[in-house]
Chains A and B, each alone.
Chain A
Amino acid sequence: ETGVTQSPTHLIKTRGQQVTLRCSSQSGHNTVSWYQQALGQGPQFIFQYYREEENGRGNFPPRFSGLQFPNYSSELNVNALELDDSALYLCASSLGGLAGEYEQYFGPGTRLTVT
């Protein structure tokens, strides 16, 4: 059973550019959540996808968007990058959509630096 994988590991972008981060869910998981972790902080919920539909969103602007594919892999897209978008981006897969009791399994994250 493969775990959650993310690509790329590191990324450097310039302010105003667009970025796409990718996540491959753990086998059998139908739900993926994305989190942003700034330095010294805990992860903050961006949004969740369940069976290819957005299924909950945190306090992030619309320039943060996502997709989930039929094989349950996922993308996070960020447009018009700002310096404050520099962070570790984590995806987590789980079973059960909105059910809170299902464990979320995290990938190693993508470190995004915006200059």
Chain B
Amino acid sequence: DQQVKQNSPSLSVQEGRISILNCDYTNSMFDYFLWYKKYPAEGPTFLISISSIKDKNEDGRFTVFLNKSAKHLSLHIVPSQPGDSAVYFCAVSGNTGKLIFGQGTTLQVKP
């Protein structure tokens, strides 16, 4: 039973445009929501997070939106750059410190 789902395995956008990555979760008890980026042959790198008491968090080109009623999380990257091409994982956490990951979305940003 998948608690965190990323329904788009891949996404391709043009350099300079917006990338929107989506994530759905099933359990309303999760407290923290995170996005990780992963390049080949490297471990996941923390990108941005949001707690359940907020609905938006911004860090430079990256913004995470949380819609608790819809149990939906999204990551916006504006403007997208070729170096953003990677696999993006959303992850959720309760008060256990355990991260539950989605399956990942491969983002390709074309020059």
| Chain A residue at minimum C-beta to C-beta distance from B51 | A101
Distance from A73 Cβ to chain B, minimum over Cβ atoms (Å)? 16
B55 at the interface (CB under 8 A from A): no
A107–B34 Cα gap in the complex (Å)?
A: 17
Whether the Cβ atoms of A96 and B43 lie closer than 8 Å is no
1/0 per residue A45-56: CB within 8 Å of B?
100101000011
Residues of A within 8 A of B (CB): 4, 31, 33, 35, 40-45, 48, 50, 55-56, 58, 90, 92, 94, 96-109
Q: Which chain B residue has the least Cβ–Cβ distance from A48? A: B97
How many chain B residues sit at the interface, stated as a range, is: 20 to 34
Q: How far is the CB of B75 from chain A (nearest CB, A)?
A: 15
The 4 closest A-B pairs by CB, nearest first: A42-B101, A106-B43, A100-B93, A98-B97
A109 touches B96 (CB 8 A): no
Task: Determine whether the beta carbon of B101 is less than 8 Å from that of A98.
Answer: no
CB<8 Å pairs between A and B, sample of 23: A33-B97, A33-B99, A35-B99, A35-B101, A43-B44, A43-B89, A43-B101, A48-B97, A48-B98, A55-B97, A56-B97, A90-B43, A92-B43, A97-B97, A98-B95, A100-B95, A100-B97, A101-B31, A101-B51, A101-B93, A105-B46, A106-B36, A108-B42
